[in-house]
Structure 1
Amino acid sequence: MCKVYNEVGCITTINSHLIRNNINDLKSLKEIIDFKNSYADVRKEIISHHTLLIEQEKKILEEEISHLKDSIIAKENEVREQLLQEIEKLKYRLTNLIFKNVTVFRVLTRFCKKIILKLKIWTNKLLFSFRIKKSIQHLIHFLTKKTERYEYIVSFFNDAVEESSLSQTKHLDKKKAVIDEINNSIYGALGEQMVVKELKTLADDYILINDFNCTFDPPLYNSRERNYIRSIQVDHILISPFGVFIIETKNWSKESQNNLSLRSPVEQIKRTNLALYKMLVSEESYSDLMLSRHHWGERKVPLKNIIVLINQKPIEEFKYVKVLTLNQLLGYIKYFEPTFSTRETQKIADYLLARNFRAIVD
């Protein structure tokens, strides 16, 4: 089986985007796709769950309100009875205020006590309603709060459900928005993984480098476009017994293919080809590669440009670039006759891997 280095580039982009946005529970492309597909159903389940919770809350409130009303009536009656008994006791004491051996001092004392008892009776009668209200004040407070909540639920049931579910739906919607920002990368990753799956079936003497990145200092001069190449990124580089295949994957719809604002993959891959060509034909690279000499002269490393379109490809042909569908890819690669030994193929791969930003074997 073909040896594979690195995850596909779109997966790296996706993972970085999710980490930046504190989304750590989606560990694979499948989980991301499953989340996208199930989002609407999950949101409905959240709303349904909180609808049930609000219905239950409404029922509980009805019971609590009824219980509070009964408690208030019971408490009122209890306190009223206690206050009436207290007044009756004071009246009894007033009526039975008798002193034996009447003296001036005792008459004066009796008079003062009568005044005090009458004042207590008067005060108790005056504060009678206030004391009853004060005794049930906390129950009235609870009843008011629960009645207001109950009436709100009855009048604005959907709003109550929305408020109850807001924390969960907000978190879910934010996650959906973050994922929607990388839709293109998700579709790109699907396409790139399909290409990798195909290429993995190749023999052991094929080596695949995904998401190849390289910078150039000083930059390489691009005489055709009259500019400089400072860096390149390639979806896949396949090192084979024939040479090197530069592969760009596009999971594009027909509309995307006709979109003039999207960068031409043909120009992109030609630019990459130029950079890799200059890398592989330099004196330094030839020395590092240690390719066996042919008696006619120094051998070159053939570079082939391939654009793989997952859905459909245009009918047009392009100079120096082969545009293929996924099911045409392996047939095209295997068409070429091998010219490099397994050792030489590995040497070319090692040379490129040493210049890649990162190389992680799969």
Structure 2
Amino acid sequence: MKEQIDNEITDLTTNIEVLECEIKIKSSKIMNDINSEIENLEKEIKELEKIQFNIEKLFIFIKSKFEKYKKKRRYKYLVNNPRNEVQKLLKNEYFQLKNYIDKKQSLTNNFDIECKHRLSNLLNQLDKIWFIKKSKLYKGAEGEILVIEKLRNLTDDYCIFNDLFFELDSGVNFNGAFLKSAQIDHLVIGPSGIYVIETKNWSEAYVKKVFDNGSYTPYDQIKRSSYAVYRYLNSSKYGNIFQKAYYSLAKKEIKVQSIIAITGSKIPLQDKGFVKVLFPNQLPGYISERENILSNEMIENLV
């Protein structure tokens, strides 16, 4: 921390020297411009003084008096306050210079206090990072990122959607509860079918707590989100009489495969034939080695 502040003071010293040099060069040029303007004003004032009163050229005479007045004011200002003009034209540079000088002085005079302050801020940031890393959201995101990395091993024939919010046109009753939308970790569409993947990066203690208490388990969650996708893709099956008739004749039911991807502690295996429980490294092989059931045209339409 001390080395960092020392480096900042050194950088500020360099910036001050460079800016002072720049100001000096610009000031010299501006002073030359001011002197040239003063000379031009002297000539212009003398020319204006030559204009005499003439009733036929009254407007020109009045205008010359007004111009002479303005130029004399400017002339007097430049002669008596050249430094003010320089500072006005270089106000941004002087403002920046003051900031550099004030900051350097503050760091130099309060070196130890600044070190303690920055160290305290750093420790606070580390505490926040530690807290975030211990949170369920971080653990969940960490697990999802691992699954995404593994799914990238699938061929380009497969389309992958991550962190997908899925909403039906209208709500339905599912297992005694209202279902209108679902948050899906990963949705994979490719030659071997459609896969809804729920990632779980739970600790052993949390797994035990959920399953011992009979809480809302990953099996319940994947069943709900998979049905939402199935319902959406097979909407004709649940539409009006004509849509149902078309669905019955077409016999084109679109099935959805359910997968729970485990990136943390294992979950108890249950007799849920519609759910496959896999580790991330098993996902590409399981998906790609299944029989192809979707054509390229169907995949394109679904996507």
Rounded Cα–Cα distance in structure 2 between residues aligned with 1:214 and 1:322: 21
- Secondary structure class of the residue paired with 1:258: helix
Residues 170 and 216 (structure 1), Cα distance of their counterparts in 2 relative to 1, 3 Å cut: farther
Rounded Cα–Cα distance in structure 1 between residues aligned with 2:279 and 2:216: 19
Instruction: Tell me whether 1:245 sits opposite 2:195 in the alignment.
Output: yes
* Contact kept in structure 1, 2:236 and 2:247, CA below 8 Å: no
Alignment-derived partner of residue 232 in structure 2: 279
Alignment-derived partner of residue 165 in structure 2: 213
Instruction: Tell me whether 1:339 sits opposite 2:290 in the alignment.
Output: no
How far 1:284 moved relative to its partner? 9.3
2:171 maps to amino acid? P
1:186 maps to amino acid? Y
1:202 to 154, 159, 166: 154
Name the larger-Rg structure. 1
Structure 1 portions without partners, runs of 5+: 1-45, 54-159, 287-292, 350-362
Rounded Cα–Cα distance in structure 1 between residues aligned with 2:271 and 2:114: 58
Q: CA-atom RMSD, angstroms?
A: 3.4
How far 1:277 moved relative to its partner? 1.4
- Secondary structure class of the residue paired with 2:209: coil
Greater RCO structure (CA 8 Å; 6+ sep): 1
How far 1:175 moved relative to its partner? 2.6
Render the CA deviation track for 1:186-220: whole Å, top value 9, x for unaligned: 33222212211211111221100001112345323
Q: Map 1:16-55; keep pairs closer than 5 Å.
A: 46=1, 49=2
1:302 to 228, 241, 255: 255
Rounded Cα–Cα distance in structure 2 between residues aligned with 1:311 and 1:299: 37
Rounded Cα–Cα distance in structure 2 between residues aligned with 1:170 and 1:276: 49
Render the CA deviation track for 1:320-359: whole Å, top value 9, x for unaligned: 211111222222213421111112112112xxxxxxxxxx
Q: Map 1:14-163; keep pairs closer than 5 Å.
A: 46=1, 49=2
* Contact kept in structure 1, 2:237 and 2:247, CA below 8 Å: no
Residues 347 and 322 (structure 1), Cα distance of their counterparts in 2 relative to 1, 3 Å cut: same
- Count the aligned residue pairs: 188
Residues 165 and 219 (structure 1), Cα distance of their counterparts in 2 relative to 1, 3 Å cut: farther
Rounded Cα–Cα distance in structure 1 between residues aligned with 2:290 and 2:249: 21
Q: TM-score, normalised by structure 1?
A: 0.45
Residues 174 and 236 (structure 1), Cα distance of their counterparts in 2 relative to 1, 3 Å cut: same
Q: TM-score, normalised by structure 2?
A: 0.53
Alignment-derived partner of residue 232 in structure 1: 182
Residues 220 and 176 (structure 1), Cα distance of their counterparts in 2 relative to 1, 3 Å cut: farther
Rounded Cα–Cα distance in structure 1 between residues aligned with 2:144 and 2:238: 29
Render the CA deviation track for 1:50-75: whole Å, top value 9, x for unaligned: 9x99xxxxxxxxxxxxxxxxxxxxxx
Instruction: Tell me whether 1:322 sits opposite 2:276 in the alignment.
Output: yes
2:219 to 246, 259, 266: 266
* Contact kept in structure 2, 1:313 and 1:324, CA below 8 Å: no
- Secondary structure class of the residue paired with 2:149: helix
Structure 2 portions without partners, runs of 5+: 7-110, 240-245
Stretches (4+) displaced over 4 A: 293-296
